[in-house]
Amino acid sequence: MAERSVTLEERLAALAATMEYPATPAAELRARVTAAIRVAPPRAPIPPVARARWRSWRVRLAAALAVLLAVTGLVTPVRTAVAGFLGLRGVVIEQPRTVPTPTPRPPTATPSPAGLGAGLSLGEPTSLPAARAQLAFTPLVPGALPAPDGVFVRRPPTGGALSLAYRAGPGRPPAIGDSGVAILITEFRGDLAPEFFGKFVGSDATIEPVQVDGDPGYWIAGTPHSVGYHEQNGDVQIDDLRLATNTLIWQHGNLLLRIEGTQTREQALAIAHSMH
């Protein structure tokens, strides 16, 4: 009989290829898990060193990241490689084989009167003095850079997020893509929105723990990576358009700050150091 030549293993493989599973209730899982996690934050280990707060912040951020990535299903292939660690115990960051890609936005027909950075989903254009009144924190501005060329406030997150956009110019990196923006600084209350920020890091990117004047942070270099925001309903929103370039993120008090666009870690650290 011809069938005899087909091994059991081959028949199992053929069956596996045609298996139908019940649909994964991904949305329900995401909502239920997110709700449960909000109620019970992760138990971070307390390291026996003076930098306990630093580390526990790292653990919290990384835990939020890892679970966010695991639950959301935004990381497409099953064979997701988990390659990079943030260099500390208990900390993991995902390097999915496929980084979630932003949805392309329709090009704006006319240059926006709002100016630089408009179209980057940064929120409402405003001025620094006006922004101060809208934010639940006192914004920091970099002394190392002149006045920003664009100022935006966005909600969510709770407390608002401030973005400062800078054009290309002497001593600054070239503009990224056709955005006209060379450097982008974003700040928000990390304590009010602990899961607001997520980062999906491509396999070519590197992640390095750094300190900014004693504050904990990460330097993420290389592409691609994209940025996800945790919306209030538990969904993760991939930023429509993000610079997806070298990024320094760090925590200062209850603020989470991010500098995107610098070519080197030292440039980013110099700007970060000048924030006041």
Partner 1 sequence: MYSDLAFRTAFLVCGSAADAEDAAQEAFISAHAALGRFRPGAPFRPWLLRIVGNAARNRRRAATRRHGLALQFAASLRTGDAAPSPEAEVEAAEERTALLRAISALREEERVVVVLRHLMGLDVSETAAVAGCAEGTVKSRLSRALAHLRQRLESDCG
Q: For the CB of residue 274, give the shortest distance to partner 1 in the complex, in Å.
A: 33
User: Closest Cα partner for 226 from 103, 117, 107?
Assistant: 103
Between 36 and 133, CB nearer to partner 1: 36
| Contact window for partner 1 (CB under 8 A) among 21-29, 141-149, 169-177, 204-212 | 21-29
Rounded-to-10 torsion of CA 163, 156, 220, 51: 100
E strands, 107-224, in order: 124-126, 150-154, 161-167, 181-189, 197-201, 206-212, 215-221
CB-hemisphere CA count at 13 Å for 199?
30
Q: Binding to partner 1 by residue 52, rule CB under 8 A?
A: no
Q: What's the CA gap between 271 and 151, in Å, rounded? A: 17
Q: Binding to partner 1 by residue 91, rule CB under 8 A?
A: yes
Q: What's the CA gap between 94 and 39, in Å, rounded? A: 24
Figure out which of the listed residues 20, 108, 113, 129 binds partner 1, where binding follows CB under 8 A.
20
With CB under 8 A as the rule, give the number of residues binding partner 1: 54
Q: Binding to partner 1 by residue 241, rule CB under 8 A?
A: no
Q: Binding to partner 1 by residue 114, rule CB under 8 A?
A: no
Q: For the CB of residue 162, give the shortest distance to partner 1 in the complex, in Å.
A: 30
Handedness of CA 163, 257, 34, 136 (dihedral sign): negative
Q: Binding to partner 1 by residue 50, rule CB under 8 A?
A: no
Q: For the CB of residue 171, give the shortest distance to partner 1 in the complex, in Å.
A: 38
Q: Binding to partner 1 by residue 45, rule CB under 8 A?
A: yes
Handedness of CA 90, 74, 83, 264 (dihedral sign): negative
DSSP 32-44: HHHHHHHHS----
165-174's contacts with Cβ under 8 Å and 24+ in sequence apart are: 165/116, 165/117, 165/120, 165/122, 166/261, 167/116, 173/261, 173/262, 173/263, 173/267
Q: For the CB of residue 86, give the shortest distance to partner 1 in the complex, in Å.
A: 8
Q: Binding to partner 1 by residue 11, rule CB under 8 A?
A: yes
Q: Binding to partner 1 by residue 15, rule CB under 8 A?
A: yes
| Contact window for partner 1 (CB under 8 A) among 60-68, 169-177, 209-217, 219-227 | 60-68
Q: For the CB of residue 23, give the shortest distance to partner 1 in the complex, in Å.
A: 8
Q: Binding to partner 1 by residue 38, rule CB under 8 A?
A: no
* Residue ranges that bind partner 1, judged by CB under 8 A: 3, 8-9, 11-22, 24-26, 28-30, 32-33, 36-37, 40, 42-45, 59, 62-63, 66-67, 69-78, 80, 82, 85, 87-92
